[in-house]
Amino acid sequence: MVPLRCLANESMSVMQLQLPRRRYARQVTLFENNSYVRLLNLLLQMELGCIELYQTCSTELNNYRLLDIIDCHRLQAKSLVNLIISNRGIPEHKGFAFSSELSLMASRIGRRLPHTLARRTSVASCLQLEKSLRRRYRQALAIAPYRDRIELNAHILSTRQHINHLQTRDEQDSSTIEPS
């Protein structure tokens, strides 16, 4: 600040004004260490893991409407990328999400089993990943800024629909395979 002095005529007092030297442009910072952005990146990795898991399970679960679920997860992944960028983060497409890796491993082991057990293993691993995804979305919703909550709620509803769809299809298939 540069002081500016001026004299008042009547009172002979000195007034001091301070003017800014120069204006600074605001610096943009990336919030890589922000817990919300880290959670969004974890959700992105889990969504990508869901896509890979459903593509792996598509041979055992051919009548489960998996293409619609895969497309929904792709849209949710794109939405998460936009949320991460809007919160000044960097999307991490390649990473490790333990729950999706574990589900993929269970699905690959299940493919070596007889058809009924392979289908059961695939459905169980898809359900487990969807439930852990829903749990993470709820955690993100608790710390999300207000502007992101509507979109995260839509993701939670979509994940809930996937869980309900997989459970009802599994119950229908179980009732037709097992004799009463």
Measuring CA to CA, which residue among 98, 127, 131, 125 is closest to residue 111?
A: 125
Residue 180 confidence (pLDDT) above 50: no
Residue 3 has φ and ψ, to the nearest 5°, of -75, 145
Residue 21 has φ and ψ, to the nearest 5°, of -70, -50
Residue 72 confidence (pLDDT) above 60: yes
What does DSSP say about strands 2-7 and 14-19: parallel, antiparallel, or unpaired? antiparallel
- Say which range, 23-32, 71-80, 101-110, 139-148, has the weakest mean pLDDT: 23-32
**Cα–Cα distance measured from residue 119 to residue 124, given in angstroms and rounded to the nearest whole number:** 8
Task: Kindly write down the DSSP assignment for every residue of 47-85, as one continuous string.
Answer: HHHHHHHHHHHTTT-TTS-HHHHHHHHHHHHHHHHHHHH
Measuring CA to CA, which residue among 132, 109, 95, 131 is closest to residue 57?
A: 109
The model's pTM: 0.73
Query: Which phi-psi region, left, alpha or beta, contains residue 12 (left: φ > 0; alpha: ψ -120 to 50)?
Result: left
User: Is 118:60 a contact under the CB 8 Å cutoff?
Assistant: yes
The pLDDT tens digits for 11-58 are 555 555 555 555 544 444 455 568 999 999 999 999 998 898 888 888
**Cα–Cα distance measured from residue 110 to residue 103, given in angstroms and rounded to the nearest whole number:** 10
Q: In 3-state terms, the chain is what percent helix, strand and coil (to 5)?
A: 65, 5, 30
**Predicted pLDDT at 32:** 58
Q: Quick one: average pLDDT of 97-125?
A: 69
Residue 152 confidence (pLDDT) above 60: yes
Domains of the chain: 35-162 (1.20.1260)
**Predicted pLDDT at 13:** 57
Q: What is the dihedral of CA 144, 150, 153, 154, to 10 degrees?
A: -140
